[in-house]
Amino acid sequence: MRALALLLILCAPEVSAQSRRCAEPPRPPLCLERLGSSSDNQAVAYCRSDVNAYRSRLNRYLDCLADVAEQSRRDLEQAERKLECHARGGSICP
């Protein structure tokens, strides 16, 4: 039973930062290209709403990137600890 658990741990696919992906960055609203100096208040109000939604999507995207970057740093630190453990002669390293 213990050997089976060890085998599962050793053979389990490694989850790395590369497997965690963020969606494509959101695109700015198209309404910004259509607004001109003669835009009416209603067009500006609709565009303002689109820009607010864009801000929310962009913030979620940036949060995702920050999470992936942080996990990548942790993955690197773990890889370095494992390498150093093996370099010191360890046979089972975390």
Q: Give the position of tokens 């864009």.
A: 54
Is 17 a member of any domain? no
Examine the pLDDT at 18 and tell me if it is beyond 70.
Answer: no
pTM beyond cutoff 0.75: no
φ/ψ of 2, rounded to 5, equals -65, -40
- Cα 89 to Cα 10, 58, 85: the distances in Å are 19, 47, 7
The string of pLDDT tens digits covering residues 70-84 is: 999 999 999 999 999
Distance CA 68, CA 20 (A): 7
- The CA distance from 24 to 61, in Å, is 8
In a domain, 57, yes or no: yes
In terms of residue numbers, what domain contains 46? 30-94
Structure tokens at 33: 């290209």
- Is residue 38 included in any domain, yes or no? yes
Convert the pLDDT of each residue in 30-87 to its tens digit.
999 888 876 789 999 999 999 999 999 999 999 999 999 999 999 999 999 999 999 9
